[in-house]
Amino acid sequence: MKGEKFMIRVAEIKVSIDADEDKLKTEILRKLKIKEEELVNFWIYKKSLDARKKDQIAFVYTLDVELKKEKEFLKKYKGQHVSPTPDMEYRFVEVGKASLAMPPVVVGTGPAGLFAGLILAEMGYCPIVLERGKDVDERSKDVMEFWKEGKLKAESNVQFGEGGAGTFSDGKLTTQIKDLRCRKVLKEFISTGAPDEILYHYKPHVGTDKLRKIVKKIRNKIIDLGGEVRFNSKVTDIIINQGKVEGIYINGSEKIDTEIVILAIGHSARDTFEMLYDRGIELQQKPFSIGVRIEHPQQLVNNSQYGQYATHPKLGAADYKLSYHCSNGRSAYTFCMCPGGEVVAAASEEGRLVTNGMSYHARDKDNANSALLVGVAPEDYESSHPLAGVYYQQRWEERAFQLGGSNYHAPVQLVGDFLKDCPSKQLGNVKPSYTPGVTPTDLRECLPQYVISAMKEAIIGLDKKLKGFALEDAVMTGVETRSSSPVRIIRNEGLISNIDGLYPAGEGAGYAGGIVSAAVDGIKAAEAVAKKYKPIKLRVKS
């Protein structure tokens, strides 16, 4: 974090995995060809792993370096991978001139909603943040009860409640987007309990245990800055007059007047999608993916990825990210890989079964798991209805529920049986981590045939990339359908929907895919409001 104020950024500093980080100082002096007394200090900006050669694994660093005379040095230096450190500090946007009669409302407390609420609170807009589910402590109790006894609560589960669906996940903070707002998100996480390393680690994560504490602290910060956070507050209707938002109803009867609604509802708020459709908000079908969770021994993954360094203390549990282009034209890939994690029951509707993956920060469980997914598109939904993708998800979730025994036990099949088109009758050496229980069966009964065909071909192909991926005793647990939203809520360049004052944001709205990208989209929505309207009061400094 401190590295942002220094002048010199030095890339491609490689050190052996067995080297101490004190070696970095020596490498800086060597690369810059300077004397020790010219170096004031340095900080890690980025740390990545080079494991292309299993017998020569190394860490590669980008460092921010403070020298006594940085500008003079830069004028003289002729080598590569050295440049001025860019300004990466997040700054609030310039506020607009229109007045707000009532506080803006943020719907949802997933990453998009939390960060939209936080930015608005930091800028003095006193937002009202609404969450249909419970606070994270009460929600966690309900989730644990569901995993233990199979008793689902429709408004308090892995999908609904404080923190959103990501609360019960690996807590990955990787993202493909290049945006300075990402750094704002990471620094906020650090200030609320995440380890400093997430700012520079090549694959940052916090784990579900730390994430639950972080979301609570962000909530309290919003409140301390003048905002309001309300749980058990489900938005059941939006009041629209002449194409503009005038307010909302929560829980059917309680009215809140407002001109601004940031809609960060998450990818599983299917009843809210229905309400939006009924109110004339423009929705569009969107591609997503469907498949299973595949579970291997973590040591197998470590051995395949790290070779002789598989037990090295600096490496921890290995992960992977794989893809395969299938002969039927589909793409299969692994997603949301959870090293040392567990497969979890993620249902949010009665009579429908969904799986997901989760890890604690330590990633110290026996198994590794990942989604193994195949892309599906609107032409697969068999309808032009904007919510046809939702109905497609529900159909396969219902089949999985029935196949597992209609009690939230998940249908599972061993990879060896799956490749032979044989129903599994018993488990092998890999113990499934899913609770409340599993039912060995035939996954062909709860997935489309084109998905089955693609996964079979992909498993064989991916085994060539990660030795052991096609392990006969590896467990496939069905089904995973919530990789992303099957719906996009259309918005313009100002991030407003076809209803003035309604700002769709985040993964559920179809504009993000992960914790950090969803948080960034929430920040953008808050900025869009701020650019148009004046704060309700002077910003409270944190």
- The edge-to-edge listing of strands for the beta sheet with 502-504 is 228-230, 128-130, 105-107, 261-263, 502-504
Query: For the whole prediction, is pTM greater than 0.85?
Result: yes
> From CA 406, how far away is CA 27, in angstroms rounded?
61
Burial class (CB in 10 A: 0-12, 13-18, 19+), 483: buried
Tokens 């069905």 label which residue? 478
What pLDDT, on the 0 to 100 scale, is given for residue 3? 43
What pLDDT, on the 0 to 100 scale, is given for residue 540? 42
> From CA 412, how far away is CA 407, in angstroms rounded?
14
What pLDDT, on the 0 to 100 scale, is given for residue 538? 46
Residues 419, 448: contact at Cβ < 8 Å?
A: no
> From CA 139, how far away is CA 145, in angstroms rounded?
10
Residues 370, 334: contact at Cβ < 8 Å?
A: yes
Count of helix runs (H) and strand runs (E) in the chain: 12, 23
What pLDDT, on the 0 to 100 scale, is given for residue 176? 83
Name 300's bridge partners: none
What pLDDT, on the 0 to 100 scale, is given for residue 5? 56
Residues of the chain with pLDDT under 50: 1-4, 538-542
Residues 234, 132: contact at Cβ < 8 Å?
A: yes
3-state SS, one letter per residue, for 305-337: HHHHHCCCCCCCCCCCCCEEECCCCCEEEEEEE
For the chain, domains (ranges, CATH) are: 2-84 (3.30.70.2700), 105-284+487-532 (3.50.50.60), 287-480 (no CATH)
